[in-house]
Structure 1
Amino acid sequence: MGALVWDPEGRVLLVRTTKWRGLWGVPGGKVEWGETLTAAALREFWEETGLRLRDVRYAQTQEAVLSPEFHKPAHMILVDFFARTDDPGVTPNEEIEEWAWVPLGEAAGYSLNTVTRTLVELALRQGEA
């Protein structure tokens, strides 16, 4: 579960984490027992970035089976969201090595992991802003 999030200036947040072998992606993580997908997105984003989200809406579902981009063998079902934040001040946790707020049209120029690349491409096709 992850989210592509826009700030008040219309930029999206990309992060480089320890889990994706130096590739850029979006914050996200696992759903806890008894937690809804939306609640998990809100919690994970807060834990990893210190950001509060609003206007969280479903974007897509993806499957990643033994992706060589991920730091360990895993079979993941990824539920992706689009969302917004009112405060772009990132307070990263230990998983985030680097972050950047970038215009959506420039996001594809980053070394994105495959699952994030499909999320960015979806946002571009749908004219998200």
Structure 2
Amino acid sequence: MERPLVCVGALVWGPGGRVLLVRTTKWRGLWGVPGGKVEWGESLEAAVRRELAEEVGLTLRDVRYAQTQEAVLSPEFHKPAHMLLVDFFAATDQQTVTPNEEIAEWAWVPLAQAPAYPLNTVTRTLVALAAQEARA
């Protein structure tokens, strides 16, 4: 029997106060944040640190929980999947992105400009939450 996949991702602020957006091969050309599946026995925070290191070569600091979402058979995803997405906010002192094969493009952008990118739905809600917190 198939079960939902638990995944993590992070909206990361880099030097200069910009956030990292990536276009991956898995979201049909849409932009999002780096992340991936949680491994057996791995904490959510350990998973997000590992995934960001693997996908974009960044070391995170100030990792904090942002929200939990679900994507159930999203037409934006490249194959049928039921994902529980645990999102984080984080920072890095690094500017240089070292992409793996999943990352097609990336950009450091001011948070206010992020909604202008063709974001996947789950990233759009994460960016909106970050903007709401910035205004508070």
The alignment's TM-score, normalised by the length of structure 1, stands at 0.98
Alignment of 1:1-129 (within 5 A): 1-127=8-134
CA distance in 1: counterparts of 2:44 and 2:95, whole angstroms: 23
CA distance in 2: counterparts of 1:93 and 1:8, whole angstroms: 21
Count how many residue pairs are aligned between Structure 1 and Structure 2: 128
Match of 2:4 in 1: none
Identity across matched positions, percent: 78
Is there any run of 5+ residues in structure 1 with no aligned partner, and where? none
Residue 8 of structure 1: CA displacement?
A: 1.6
CA distance in 2: counterparts of 1:24 and 1:83, whole angstroms: 18
CA distance in 1: counterparts of 2:11 and 2:46, whole angstroms: 15
Residue 11 of structure 1: CA displacement?
A: 0.1
- Show structure 1 runs of 4+ deviating over 6 A: none
CA distance in 2: counterparts of 1:26 and 1:88, whole angstroms: 15
The alignment's TM-score, normalised by the length of structure 2, stands at 0.93
SS, match of residue 105 in structure 2: strand
